[in-house]
Amino acid sequence: MLNPVLAMVLSGLFLKLWLERPAYRHVLFFSTGYLSYAITFGLQAMDWPFGYPANGLLSNLFILYAYIAIIHGIMLRRGVPTPFLALGVLGAIAFAGQFWFAVIVPDMTGRIYAVNFCYGAMMLVAAATMHTFRNKTPIERVLFAVALTIGLYSFVRTIGISLVEGHIVDRAQYVGSLTWLVLNFSAAFFALLFALTLAYMVVLDAMQDLRAESMTDLLSGLLNRRGFEEHGRKALAHADGIGVPAALLICDIDHFKSVNDRFGHACGDQVITAFGRCLSDAAGGEHVTARIGGEEFAVVLAGANLKTGRLFAEAVRNACSTLKISGLPEDCAVTASFGVAEMQAGEDLTSLMRRADAALYEAKRRGRDRVRSAETHAGKTGTDGNPPLSSVRASG
């Protein structure tokens, strides 16, 4: 009963992990797969409910689901298609072989070959699919190696034990034999090894997601101040390392307090969400974008000089004025002020933010809804070149 008990424990482990992170649907397949694996060995160890050979045939269906569910979970996590056709064909061959050597021509060695070869081939199919994963993480490489090892071992073990012990015809001869011992203990070992690798992968995923969540602003969906400082520094260091320019944009939604005061915080939250989406769409996922304060946002544009940064800011400013916010009257347009600075030689994020923030203050001082460029180390100051426009016309 080692295998069913071990598999039940592993199924419970994955169930607990899934309950902690319900978004991880693939973990639920790991849990049900190991539960099915437990049922498989439970049926093989007992005569209940149908006795031999019906229990053996039924257990084949459960182990078929176990393999498919676990492999599907791996592919679901990666978002790649599961090779259901190949797995289904191998499963059908395994069941046909099981039926043939259990009912038509009783032969235990034939059953062992049919089952182990087919399910070993399933693991090789899984390994082959995992081999195509792009940018594999270290734990995915380990999982690939384990799947490949299990698949190859299924063939080597079956042939090797058969050569050592000889042909086994009936079940009574099989139970307690060397073949029985090797198959059961190796099944337990590899089930545990595979499960621990999967569990470690799930835990690493959860840790990475928790870290990402700690750096994400829930309202806008952008990075928060902490995430911006970490990713922004990396982006500037990378740009400096490869010798390309970088610009920083800091923007502030105009008269945001009046929106909250006149139309409520729920409306204000929608303004933040919509503006964050506008900024994210403009950045296209290529730049570090964050909400660094209440209504203040920032973008690091790697590979952009001051002129490109100003063009980006103008594009966002124009898109911002077209936003439609539920709860905000149509005659109240959302506008924002922008400060742009280009990274100078040897400049860090703190200094760059200070210069961009000064440019933002100048844009607000000059009437808001405009873009201003920051002073360079040479003392030059950019001009906005924008005609004064209305900001959030909360007063109507």
The residue among 45 and 256 whose pLDDT is bigger is: 256
The residue among 386, 273, 356, 267 whose CA lies nearest residue 320 is: 273
pLDDT at residue 176 in the model: 82
pLDDT in tens, 296-309: 999 999 999 999 99
Whether 320 and 189 share a structural domain: no
Do 274 and 174 share a structural domain?
no
For 38, 42, 315, 316, the CA distances from 321, given in Å and listed in that order, are 60, 66, 10, 9
Pairing of strands 336-342, 371-373: parallel
Residues in the chain: 396
CATH number for 334: 3.30.70.270
Residues 246, 136 share a domain: no
Residue 377's pLDDT band (cuts 50, 70, 90)? low
- Whether residue 184 lies inside any domain: the answer is yes
Based on the fold, state whether residues 229 and 186 are members of the same structural domain: no
Which domain-ending residue is among 171, 191, 214? 214
The more confident residue out of 176 and 233 is: 233
State the Cα–Cα distance between residues 214 and 227, nearest whole angstrom. Answer: 8
Domain count, the chain: 2
355 in a structural domain: yes
The two tokens of residue 2 are 């080692």
Tell me, yes or no, whether 364 lies in a domain: yes
DSSP string, 224-275: -HHHHHHHHHHHHHHHHHHT--EEEEEEEETTHHHHHHHH-HHHHHHHHHHH
Considering only residues 396 and 311, tell me which one the structure prediction assigns the higher pLDDT.
311
With respect to residue 392, please indicate whether it lies within any of the assigned structural domains.
no
Active-site hit among 165, 213, 229, 295: 295
Q: Are residues 60 and 201 part of one domain?
A: yes
Q: Which amino acid is at 384?
A: D
In a domain, 300, yes or no: yes
> What pLDDT, on a 0 to 100 scale, did the predictor assign at position 1?
64
Q: Is the pLDDT assigned to residue 30 strictly greater than 80?
A: yes
Whole-number pLDDT of residue 225:
95
What does the pLDDT average to over 27-55? 87
Q: Which residue range forms the structural domain that includes residue 299?
A: 225-373
Say yes or no to pLDDT of 387 above 50. Answer: no
Same domain, residue pair 186 and 141 = yes
Residue 376 is predicted with a pLDDT of 64
Q: Specify the pLDDT at position 354.
A: 95
Residues 191 and 47 grouped into a single domain? yes
pLDDT in tens, 272-289: 999 999 999 999 888 999
62 and 210 co-located in one domain: yes
Q: Is 383 inside any structural domain?
A: no
Return the percentage of the chain with pLDDT > 70, whole number. Answer: 94
Nearest CA to 372 out of 315, 310, 303 is that of 310
- Give the residue, 331 or 256, on which the prediction is more confident: 256
Which residues, 6 or more positions from 301, have their beta carbon under 8 angstroms from its beta carbon?
A: 246, 247, 248, 249, 287, 308, 309, 312
User: What whole-number distance in Å separates Cα of residue 120 and Cα of residue 109?
Assistant: 16
Question: Token pair of 4, please?
Answer: 């069913």
Looking at the fold, whether 209 and 236 belong to one and the same domain comes out as no
Identify whether 382 is part of a domain. Answer: no
Percent of residues, the chain, with pLDDT higher than 90: 72
Spatial contact of 17 and 29, defined as CB atoms under 8 Å apart: no
Statement to judge: residues 262 and 202 lie in one domain: no
Q: β-strand 336-342 against 288-291: which pairing, if any?
A: unpaired
**Does residue 260 carry a pLDDT above 80?**
yes
- Residues 394/332, Cβ–Cβ less than 8 Å: yes
Asked if residues 255 and 318 have their Cβ atoms less than 8 Å apart, the reply is no
- Is 295 labeled as catalytic in the residue annotation? yes
Residue 382 pLDDT exceeds 50: no
Within-domain flag for 30: yes
Q: Region 266-273: what's the mean pLDDT?
A: 93
Q: For 82-125, write each residue's pLDDT tens digit.
A: 999 999 999 999 999 999 998 899 999 999 999 999 999 999 99
- Calculate the alpha carbon distances from 376 to 247, 305, 306, 334, 381 in Å: 12, 12, 10, 30, 7
DSSP string, 171-215: HHHHTTSHHHHHHHHHHHHHHHHHHHHHHHHHHHHHHHHHHHHHT
State mean pLDDT over 70-87. Answer: 97
State the CB neighbour count (10 A cutoff) for residue 377.
11
Q: How far apart are the first and last CA of the chain?
A: 77
Strand-pairing partners, residue 250, are 298, 339
For residue 394, pLDDT over 60 is answered with: no
**Residue 243: pLDDT band by 50, 70, 90 thresholds?**
very high
Lowest mean pLDDT among 49-53, 112-116, 366-370: 49-53
Q: What is the CA radius of gyration of the chain?
A: 31
- What is the reported pLDDT for 389? 32
Domain co-membership, 209 together with 237:
no
Examine the domain organization and report whether 19 and 98 are in the same domain. Answer: yes
pLDDT of 269 over the 70 cut: yes
Residue 374 DSSP class = P
Torsion of CA 217, 222, 227, 232, to 10 degrees: -150
